Structure formats: structure tokens, C-alpha cells
């Protein structure tokens, strides 16, 4: 009888909840989503208002009613870039802040203790960051639709969807790595101020790189944020400063490398497990 009772239970350390912990994955995703939805004024409304102000200021200062770029009104050219820039910054903020806050407050154990694999942790955090990026992008896009002088007609829906998801996923993955590496909030702020912000601002958000000197065009083509913004803009205005296929393959490769990197970090427990 005792041997039969022992056979009813799996051996210690054996996974007994199926190949994928769907409940745990869904719970982690909902936690990451509800975390930013509860403070929507700070996480959703504030970035939208800031981006709208960017549009107004740059349209007045650089655009005006008569200035065209790439054969269209400056506001129409500028809008897609501003949307992606906002998505990049918010996707990064969602994952990096979640992990650094958990580490500083000492409740990271609530994430590590549940029976979730490294790939499930990676997927849950990235999905939360992608959701925030997409929601912020939609709110900003809706504001631009209602703004006079801005044409938000979609020419290639596949490009809009792919580059929106790729941009949010890329910065979510970078945010996870930053949150795990950082030991205090100053570290995450440093990555935001000296990496994310410069790369997004110098990626053709406010201008066409055709106007740059050849050397700076080479630098821009090495910047993955440029392909995200240029591809997303192509989905609206049907014009790109780069080869769209190259942009798809380049960003897909970077996201694949980042996914493996994040997976290995969660698998090893680097700076997460004592």
C-alpha cells in the first residue's frame, strides 16, 4: 500500500503541470498588464499628451502650413515616427520598471517561486511590454487621426502591424535585460537616457535620412530603431528610406538574439537568485 501511495506522486523536481504552464503564463501577463493599467494616467495618458506636444511643436517650428517633406505635409511624415518612438520608450519602461521594482522591494521571489520555465517568464514579461507599447501607440494614433493636417491613411497594414509588434518586443526584451542587470533605479535611468532616447531620436523620427551626409546615413542604417520607424512609416505613407525586406530581416534577427539572451538569463538566474 505504501509503495502504491508513493507512485501517485511525481518525483521531487518533476514538472507535473504539462509542457506549458498556461495558468501561470496568463497570470504573469495579467499582472504585467494590470500593473500599468491601474496607473493609466501616468503610463498611457501622459505619453500620449507628450507625443501630441511633440507633434504640435515640431510641426509649428519645422513644418508650418507650407512645408512638405517627401512630397507630403510634414505632419503626415512625422506622425508615424512619433508613434513608434512612444511605443519604444513605453515598452522598455514596462519591463525594466517591473523587474527593478521587484528586486528593490524584495518581492522578486513571487516571480521566481511559481513553477514557470525560463521561456514562460520571457514570454509573460515581453507580452506585457508589447501590450503597453501597442495600447500607447493606438492612443497616440487616434489622437493624430483627429488632428487637422495629419493624414493617417494606412497603405500597408502588414508593415504597420509587424513593425509595431517588433518595436514593442525589441524594447521589452531590452527592458528585461536592463531590469535584471540593474541594481538601482539610476541604472535603468542611465539606459533610458543614454541608449534608448538617443537611438530613438536619431533614427529618422523627425527627418528623412536622405538629407544626411553619407557618413551619417551609414550610422543611421546601423541603428535598429531606424528600421523600426522607417518600416512603420512605410506602412502609412508608402515610402521608405531603406529596403523594407532588409528591415524585416534585421529586426527579426535582433529580436531572436535578444529572446535567446533573455531566456538564458532567466535560465541561469543571473542577478535574480542568491
The pLDDT assigned to 56 comes to 84
62 CA to centre of own chain:
28
Q: Provide the percentage of residues in the chain whose pLDDT is more than 70.
A: 91
Residue 35 lies in a domain: no
Buried-state track 42-74, b at ≥16 Cβ within 10 A, e below 16: ebbeebbeebbebbeebbeeebeeeeebeeebb
The pLDDT assigned to 176 comes to 97
The pLDDT assigned to 62 comes to 63
The pLDDT assigned to 118 comes to 94
Q: Could you tell me the end-to-end alpha-carbon distance of the chain, in angstroms, rounded to an integer?
A: 41
Query: Is the pLDDT score of 64 beyond 70?
Result: no
d(CA 74, CA 233): 13
Query: Is the pLDDT score of 242 beyond 70?
Result: yes
Residue 191 lies in a domain: yes
Residue 169 lies in a domain: yes
Number of structural domains the chain divides into: 1
Residue 224 lies in a domain: yes
d(CA 238, CA 251): 19
The pLDDT assigned to 156 comes to 96
The pLDDT assigned to 274 comes to 55
Q: What are phi and psi of 106, to 5 degrees?
A: 85, 15
Residue 29 lies in a domain: no
Residue 53 lies in a domain: yes
Q: Give me the domain span that covers residue 64.
A: 42-268
Amino acid at each position: 500500500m505504501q509503495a502504491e501511495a508513493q507512485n501517485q506522486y511525481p518525483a521531487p523536481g518533476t514538472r507535473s503541470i504539462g509542457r506549458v504552464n498556461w495558468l501561470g503564463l496568463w497570470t504573469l501577463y495579467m499582472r504585467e498588464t494590470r500593473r500599468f493599467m491601474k496607473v493609466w494616467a501616468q503610463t498611457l495618458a501622459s505619453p500620449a499628451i507628450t507625443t501630441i506636444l511633440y507633434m504640435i511643436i515640431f510641426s509649428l517650428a519645422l513644418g508650418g502650413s507650407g512645408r512638405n517633406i517627401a512630397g507630403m505635409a510634414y505632419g503626415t511624415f512625422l506622425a508615424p515616427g512619433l508613434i513608434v518612438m512612444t511605443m519604444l520608450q513605453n515598452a522598455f519602461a514596462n519591463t525594466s520598471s517591473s523587474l527593478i521594482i521587484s528586486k528593490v522591494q524584495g518581492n522578486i521571489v513571487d516571480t521566481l517561486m511559481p513553477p514557470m520555465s525560463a521561456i514562460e517568464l520571457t514570454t509573460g514579461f515581453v507580452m506585457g511590454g508589447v501590450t503597453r507599447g501597442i495600447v500607447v501607440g493606438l492612443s497616440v494614433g487616434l489622437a493624430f487621426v483627429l488632428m487637422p493636417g495629419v493624414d493617417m491613411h494606412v497603405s500597408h497594414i502588414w508593415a504597420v502591424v509587424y513593425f509595431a509588434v517588433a518595436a514593442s518586443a525589441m524594447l521589452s526584451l531590452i527592458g528585461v535585460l536592463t531590469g535584471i542587470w540593474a541594481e538601482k533605479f539610476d541604472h535603468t535611468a542611465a539606459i533610458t537616457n543614454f541608449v534608448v532616447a538617443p537611438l530613438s531620436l536619431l533614427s529618422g523620427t523627425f527627418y528623412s535620412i536622405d538629407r544626411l551626409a553619407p557618413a551619417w546615413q551609414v550610422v543611421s542604417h546601423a541603428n535598429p530603431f531606424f528600421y523600426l520607424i522607417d518600416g512603420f512609416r512605410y506602412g502609412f505613407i508608402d515610402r521608405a528610406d531603406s529596403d523594407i525586406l532588409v528591415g524585416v530581416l534585421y529586426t527579426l534577427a535582433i529580436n531572436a538574439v535578444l529572446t535567446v539572451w533573455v531566456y538564458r538569463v532567466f535560465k541561469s538566474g543571473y542577478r535574480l537568485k542568491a
